Structure 1
Amino acid sequence: MPANHRYSAQTALLLVACTVLASCSSLRSVSDSSINPVNWITPYKVDVIQGNFVSKEQVEQLRPGMSRDQVKAILGTPLMASLFHADRWDYVFTLKRQGVEPQSYKYTVFFKGDQLDRFAGDDMPSETDFIAKLGNKRKLGDVPVLEATEEQLNKAAGKPKSDAAATPAPASAPAGAATAVYPPLESPKQ
């Protein structure tokens, strides 16, 4: 290959590479939009739950003068109990879910000796409110009623309509119960 053809091929490849790179930067506005199919696919992110959830009902059970064991029975083991702050227990709860703002709740319990002195923290949601927040955003539609007529049951079992009405149930079986013969659980020894 002559030298001038080689330089013209390298120049052409360099121009093509520059054109492609320049077009990539102009596509940035398209890639940010919802039109781009790459934005339709999102990776699965695991829900991250850390700490102890303290509900409004649990906080309402706290009374000054309770022992540490009583507080632990109501609220559970504290997430943070410091050696430097032996009279303070911190209950921290965080929940991070895909597509939902992270939720964080903090509640602190203070002791004097072995007795509960005071407690303070975030306004805690009730258990029902918290569970309602956990509801999935996806709507799967109405759940169909799970009822079947006698005719549909017979059709699913593979019995003809007249055969089901003519076959009487044995005397030992309850009325309306169908009898079935099952194979043995273990194979015969050979």
Structure 2
Amino acid sequence: MRPLLASLPLLALLGGCSIMPRWDSLPSITGEKVLGLMTPYRVEVVQGNVLTKEMVARVKPGMPKAQVRDLLGSPLLTDVFHESRWDYPFTIRRQGAPYQQRLVVALFDGDRLKSLEVPDDLPSEVDFVASVNTFRPSSKEPKLQLTEAEREALPPPKRSAEAAPTAAAEGPAPGRVYPPLDAKAGAGS
């Protein structure tokens, strides 16, 4: 009888497992939402060199490698077996902004730039900033000044009975003497 009583809690525990739902029947991540309720935080991933139309326009064939590096930055990829090719890949994955991926290739003949392969969708600086800007300002701007009608509707300021007269009307307050600001001026007087 004792072994049967000792096994009852174990049997009850095992019996409860059959009531639990299966993991594949639970709601899962659908699109951008977890369990259909909240959006998880996704880490921003920015890799490579940001190159814009303005930056690429300054680079001309015949420039030395050092000058190209000064204008475009160090290439992300240089191959020991292909010294005449520099790759400038760029990818950005940011929450609330579309995924971007581009590749600019600089080809050299010796130490001089032979050509620059630029993708058609290379943005200008203004377009690039607009594409990664996920800040959406509110449509309602704060009010900074009152209109004349609002100023007239304001109550007049209250004057207290103990208000001291202005310093210009009476002169310096009696009994107040201030030390000179300059030590030299105080020594001579």
| Partner of residue 82, structure 1 | 79
| Partner of residue 11, structure 2 | 11
1:45 shift after superposition:
2.9
| Partner of residue 161, structure 1 | 157
Give the secondary-structure state (helix, strand or coil) at the position aligned to 1:73: helix
Taking only the aligned residue pairs, the percentage that are identical comes to 33
1:134 shift after superposition:
0.8
Counterpart CA distance in 2 for 1:122 and 1:168 is: 72
More helix by share: 1
Query: What TM-score does the superposition give when structure 1 sets the normalisation length?
Result: 0.64
1:97 lines up with 2:94 in the alignment: yes
Gaps of 5+ in 1: 154-159, 171-190
In our comparison, the structure showing a higher alpha carbon Rg is: 2
Counterpart CA distance in 2 for 1:37 and 1:116 is: 50
CA contact under 8 A between 2:76 and 2:89: conserved in structure 1?
yes
| Partner of residue 128, structure 1 | 126
CA contact under 8 A between 2:49 and 2:89: conserved in structure 1?
yes
Gaps of 5+ in 2: 160-164, 169-189
Structure 1 pair 89/168, CA: closer, same or farther in 2 (3 Å)?
farther
Structure 1 pair 168/127, CA: closer, same or farther in 2 (3 Å)?
farther
Query: What TM-score does the superposition give when structure 2 sets the normalisation length?
Result: 0.64
Amino acid at match of 1:131: V
Structure 1 pair 24/84, CA: closer, same or farther in 2 (3 Å)?
same
Structure 1 vs Structure 2 CA RMSD:
3.6
Counterpart CA distance in 1 for 2:103 and 2:42 is: 24
1:148 shift after superposition:
3.2
Counterpart CA distance in 2 for 1:96 and 1:83 is: 29
Moved more, 84-93 or 99-108: 99-108
Give the secondary-structure state (helix, strand or coil) at the position aligned to 1:93: strand
Counterpart CA distance in 2 for 1:169 and 1:132 is: 56
Give the secondary-structure state (helix, strand or coil) at the position aligned to 1:128: helix
Structure 1 pair 93/32, CA: closer, same or farther in 2 (3 Å)?
closer
Runs in 1 of length 4+ with deviation above 6 angstroms? 150-153, 167-170
Number of equivalent positions: 156
